[in-house]
């Protein structure tokens, strides 16, 4: 029938939020989510939030945006590295070297983390 489309190799088809297909490049599937995270952090960065505010923003932004797609799609290592870089840049306003490592920041509050 004319209304049936058979996806070619390498063509992603979205089903219930997951992008599936034979030979689909997983990093490309994440491109819209990464753009959304970048835009989200850029918007919130204009408000000059405190460290505690940044923690909340990161939880609801990069954490929330990536959570479902990670569950249904998995997250390639390159994407994980990119999200960590975006978070680190947002937390420290692009300053390098950063005063506190990501490992120290991600510890529970009781252990000195954020």
Query: What is the tens place of the pLDDT at every residue in 94-109?
Result: 887 878 888 888 888 8
Query: Is residue 10 within 8 Å of residue 23, measured between CB atoms?
Result: yes
Give the residue from 43, 94, 40 showing the smallest Cα distance to 63. Answer: 40
- CA angle, corner 81, sides to 76 and 87, nearest 5? 130
Query: What is the tens place of the pLDDT at every residue in 2-16?
Result: 888 888 887 888 877
Query: What is the tens place of the pLDDT at every residue in 28-59?
Result: 889 999 999 999 999 999 999 998 899 999 99
Q: What is the pTM of this model?
A: 0.79
Q: What is d(CA 28, CA 34) in angstroms, rounded to the nearest whole number? A: 10
Q: What integer is the mean pLDDT of 76-81?
A: 95
Tokens (6 digits) for 36: 């959304």
Residue 33 CB neighbours (<10 A): 19
């Amino acid at each position: 029938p004319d209304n049936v489309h058979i996806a070619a190799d390498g063509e992603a088809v979205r089903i219930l939020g997951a992008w599936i297909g034979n030979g689909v490049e997983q990093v490309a599937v994440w491109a819209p989510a990464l753009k959304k995270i970048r835009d989200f952090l850029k918007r919130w960065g204009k408000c000059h939030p405190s460290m505690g505010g940044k923690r909340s923003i990161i939880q609801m932004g990069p954490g929330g945006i990536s959570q479902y797609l990670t569950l249904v799609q998995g997250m390639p290592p390159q994407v994980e590295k990119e999200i960590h870089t975006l978070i680190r840049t947002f937390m420290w306003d692009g300053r390098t070297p950063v005063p506190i490592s990501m490992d120290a920041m991600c510890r529970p509050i009781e252990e000195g983390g954020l």
